[in-house]
Amino acid sequence: MARQKGIIKLKGTIGDITFYKTQDGHLAREKGGIDASRIASDPAFQRTRENGAEFGRAGKAGKILRTSLRALLLNSADSRMVSRLTQRMVKVIQADLVSERGLRNVIDGEAELLAGFEFNIRGKLGTSLYAPFAGAIDRVTGEISVTLAPFVPANMIAAPSGTTHFKIISAGAEVDFEAETFVVENSETAILPWNAISTLAINQVNTVTPNSTKPLFLALGLEFYQEVNGQMYPLKNGAFNPLSLVQVSGL
């Protein structure tokens, strides 16, 4: 892979060189590779097929998790989030110590490895929210909750320039990666002023299926706003809104 320089940028194929555009700029690479039918049948590529199967499984698992949290992710995700989540899902699958290679899966893996995943690297929860919070996942009742004691927003939230208001958001999700289904409930505070006046205590409870045997997730995030002439606008279209998986129960 090579980077294109110069005024005129090429797209398409010339001879054995393919020119294309990515998020990293205009690139070029040489055509080539092994025939797909050989990879699908040649014993020499058994490991390649196994890796491909597990990578595909990781991609599907990431998609169903993203879909379950879509309402929050609409304003809280960076452009590389999908690929970053897939990479983390691969690690979850590789932690499966029961299934054979190529058949490893999320259910028998370690879903807890997803804890701490940041959906927006431009605005991470760990460097935005400094107010202490307590998350809890109660499988018996199905309650996935988060609580924050009263705090002073200007002191405990590192807000982007231009912020006048904010909102605390959360979600509890129960995900069946095998059936590709989910149960989710979201919570949010009112839009609160980002100032030096203490908030009230915040307690958000998101309920999923009681006594569930599926992986459960608690996502927590912030949304930033700017008030203009009495109207609230998402700050920079949510570019710096953090959202993180703060607790995961894989069972």
Per-residue model confidence as pLDDT tens digits over 217-248: 999 999 999 999 999 999 998 899 999 999 99
pLDDT of residue 14: 66
* pTM for the whole structure: 0.83
pLDDT of 113 > 70? The answer is: yes
Select from 6, 8, 4 the least CA-distant residue to 26. 4
Q: Which two tokens stand for residue 125?
A: 């929860």
CB 167 within 8 Å of CB 223: yes
* Confidence category of residue 53, pLDDT binned at 50, 70, 90: confident
- Averaged pLDDT of the chain: 89
pLDDT of 120 > 90? The answer is: yes
pLDDT of 92 > 90? The answer is: yes
Sequence-distant (6+) residues with CB within 8 A of 97 are 108
Distance from C-alpha of 61 to C-alpha of 44, rounded to nearest angstrom: 28
Task: Please state the φ and ψ torsions of residue 76, each to the nearest 5 degrees.
Answer: -145, 50
pLDDT in tens, 60-69: 999 999 999 9
CB 225 within 8 Å of CB 164: yes
pLDDT of 39 > 60? The answer is: no
pLDDT of residue 32: 58
Question: Letter for the amino acid at 201?
Answer: A
CB 218 within 8 Å of CB 144: yes
Q: What is the largest CA-CA distance in the chain?
A: 68
Q: Which two tokens stand for residue 90?
A: 């691969």
Is 30 strand, coil or helix?
strand
Q: Report the 3 state secondary structure along 140-167.
A: CCCEEEEEECCCCHHHHECCCCCCCEEE
Is 214 strand, coil or helix?
coil
